[in-house]
Amino acid sequence: MSAAPALSSFEVAADALRQREFTRLAAAVVPTVDALRLLNGQQLRVRVAAMLERLGHELLTPETAADFVTMKDGNKYVVAFASPNELAPTPLGQLSRLHSVVVAANAVAGYFITPRGFTLDAEAYAATAPLKLVDGPKLVASITRSMAGVTLPDSYQAMCRQCGEIVQHRLDHAEAIPCRNGHPVAPTIARAALVMPKQEGGSTSSRTYTPPRRYSRQEVRAHNAKYQARMRKRKPRTAAPSPDHLPELGLENDGGEF
């Protein structure tokens, strides 16, 4: 009976280890836009920091900073993030704020990152400012580019919830294994939670893996429909035959490359 308090301390540590190991393994997998939208602010920053470093940026700020400052090829950049609680497209005001930070930091450009989208006003502002807009699909594309050659580790650690011993689980095995003291320790990470069908919009929902959700499908669909309608509306302008010596302003085609 008196063992109960000690047990609960292993519970906390075991959960923390599980979370750490999941984050470590997930960092080796290209995420979907949906998966990026489920990250909290700090998780998104960690993900982006790893991407930037692999793409040749040196981080001058910690991963916990509100805005990142980076150096690449002798140029300084500022990287700003949308609040993860903000489901609406990023408005102009946040971009004019980033513009001011870019100027004050003597940076050459700023990146604004959101797993969602931007308002038309914000896009128009960025097109005439040293700002690059990175929405969900662009972020996935950049992360994909940064991860060429990265492979998923095949094992991870889990903690025995009875005695605190650490065991080494393999992602391709789904059976419990005994700790050094003979307690069974069940696998804490399902491979399918990491490796999801890629990119095909909506194809994850019919699989066994169902990500925890913060917003309803209707909200997402409504947002996407609005976004797509906006894109369609803009088509005539950007698709208008333009002489090739007349570069577009970069609304679409600069790709938010890092």
* Interface residue list for Zn ion (CB under 5 A): 160, 162-163, 165, 179, 181, 183
Q: How far is the CB of 155 from Zn ion (least distance, A)?
A: 18
Q: How far is the CB of 17 from Zn ion (least distance, A)?
A: 13
CB closer to Zn ion out of 147 and 176: 176
* Cβ at position 16, least distance to Zn ion in Å: 17
Q: Could you tell me if 137 and 155 are in contact, meaning their C-beta atoms sit under 8 angstroms apart?
A: no
Shortest CB 7 distance to Zn ion, Å: 11
- In the complex with Zn ion, which residue's Cβ is closer, 93 or 184? 184
Q: 9 or 23, CB closer to Zn ion?
A: 9
Nearer of residues 90 and 162 to Zn ion, judged by Cβ:
162
